[in-house]
Amino acid sequence: WFCFNKRSKSRRQRSAQLCPGPYPFPLIGNILQLGRNPHQSLEKLSKTYGPLMSLHLGSIYTVVVSSPEMAKEILQKHDLVFSSRTIPAAVQSHDHHKNSIGLLPVGNKWRDFRKICKEQMFSTQHLEASQGLRQEKLRKLCDYVQECCVKGRVVNIGEVAFVTTLNFMSATLFSVDFTNFDSDTTHEWKETMEGLFAIVAAPNFADFFPLLKKFDPQGIKRRADLYFGKLLSMFENVINQRLESRRTHSDTSFKKDLLEGLLELSEGSEYDLSPKVMKHLLLDLFNAGTDTTASTVEWALTELLRNPNKMSIAKNELITVIGKNIRVKESDISKLSYLQAVIKEVLRLHPPAPLLVPRKSEVDVEINGYIIPKNSQIFVNVWAIGRDSSIWPNPNTFEPERFLDSKIDFKGQDFEFIPFGSGRRMCPGLQIADRMLLIMVASLIHNFNWELEPGTKQEELDIREKFGLALHKEVPLKALPVKP
Ligand code: HEM
């Protein structure tokens, strides 16, 4: 019976065909069809070729998923088959991929990392314990904006959100304040991290044509080595300083952070957690959490400034729930249902990872009558799903109200709305991201009124997108804070 079943399965698979897709040019395949904003080009192509579409990116066979039904097949029904990642050459710098929670294949090491992060950082208990640290950084953000308000200075929203997120993360991970607004350290961190993001997101011929890998034709691997090296040594310093202060002080004020948890675990025998491994884990958490969160805050303020009536509703809710002139706290979040709907609507329209983080198939698998061969790269176009008019009425309009009486959430079960992915590789930082997003947006709009830069009209506010590691605004949002 077993032999029969196996044989009939392989016969079925043989009769299945590859997914439809645009005709590939010799050698380069469909690379040119990706354009500057691949999520948008792929959405257009999927209207012709359907929700499971194939592309040839050089020699990489890629399947693009563009419907909730197909996303559910891939991320839930066949979760294990699609649970590993494609590994671009740039992230192989300093062997990062061998110690990266985001890139390791599903196996013991990856499971250990997920478990450690869940228990030491992302649990409700840890998030509650570290909220005071984030509150302090929020105060700094408000003080800085207040200063700009007094001086009549325009604020670059993406930049202040980036610095604040960096500080939230450094506070939660290792109780250190990395940056101050406008300081040299801020610029150094920002430049290094943005340099790394740009290099990792850049299309690399060596990925499309593996034979070119050893020649590194665009110098991407070489530059990635520099950025990774710099950031890893910055994290190594933080670890060494903590080890030193553990040796010399009995100060336990940093006891609640992730680094302390990691060092305690490294003293036991359960996990392989040398400082060498730890610095890669810290780097991954920073990289995964900072740009995604900061760009979402920038989009949220952009949409609220373009839609003044929605801004008023959100501000009125804050006044009613919290009260005038009172600072927002994380404990207020659960009472701010309109603001929660605003954040969901922003993530529907502007998911920071519009194609999720690419997955890879471990074996041949048949889906919806098509065969997806082993080692195919998988993009899930959540941007296209979020703007599909058969799912969302008026898909391009900013309407937080659509989430008010709806149970649809981003926790990975509603496949029409999966900005954090789904299945075993789903974003583990969802809870902390949600907290950071809500308190940052709430503080910015509760404590200040915002005006556009002189000369900019609200209906002309630029909303073009720039594809990268996170989906940014092409033109940064600059706005003038005014005391209410
Ligand atoms: C708006 C904020 C964020 C968004 C939209 C987001 C989205 C995502 C997405 C789409 C994935 C891939 C999921 C998949 O393959 O199904 C992911 C993975 C990941 N995210 Fe996030 N993320 C955010 C913030 C954060 C934060 C704040 C952290 C950490 C503090 C974080 C840590 C990670 C890690 C470690 C992974 C890799 C997980 C793995 O491969 O096992 N993310 N995120």
State in Å: Cα 262 to ligand 1 middle. 20
Q: Whose CA is nearest to atom 25 of ligand 1?
A: 289
| Smallest CA separation from ligand 1 atom 24, residue | 289
Q: What pLDDT score does 331 carry?
A: 93
User: Please, are residues 418 and 75 in contact by the beta-carbon 8 Å criterion?
Assistant: yes
pLDDT for position 271? 83
CB burial string 450-467: b at 16+ within 10 A, e below: bebeeeeeeeebebebeb
Residue 355's identity, in one-letter code, is: L
Whose alpha carbon is nearest atom 37 of ligand 1?
102
Which atom of ligand 1 approaches the CA of 421 most closely? Answer: 16
Q: Residue whose CA is closest, atom 31 of ligand 1?
A: 429
What are the per-10-residue average pLDDT scores of the chain (484 residues)? 40 71 95 94 98 96 98 98 95 95 96 93 87 90 95 94 90 76 72 85 88 91 94 91 83 72 86 90 92 96 96 98 92 96 98 96 96 97 98 97 96 98 97 96 97 81 86 91 89
* Residue 189: per-residue pLDDT: 78
Can you give the pLDDT at residue 78? 97
117 is in an annotated binding site: no
pTM of this structure: 0.94
Amino acid 8: pLDDT: 42
What pLDDT is attached to residue 131? 87
Pocket of ligand 1 (CB under 6 A): 101-102, 284-285, 288-289, 292-293, 296, 352-353, 356-357, 419-422, 425-429, 432-433
Q: pLDDT at position 2, please? A: 37
Ligand 1 geometric centre to CA of 419 (Å): 9
Pocket test for ligand 1, best of 164, 197, 410, 420 (most atoms within 8 A of CB): 420
Question: Which of 200, 427, 434 should be mutated for ligand 1, with most atoms under 8 A from CB?
Answer: 427
pLDDT of residue 170: 87
d(CA 295, CA 62): 27
pLDDT at 22 (0 to 100): 97
| Ligand 1 atom nearest to CA at 437 | 1
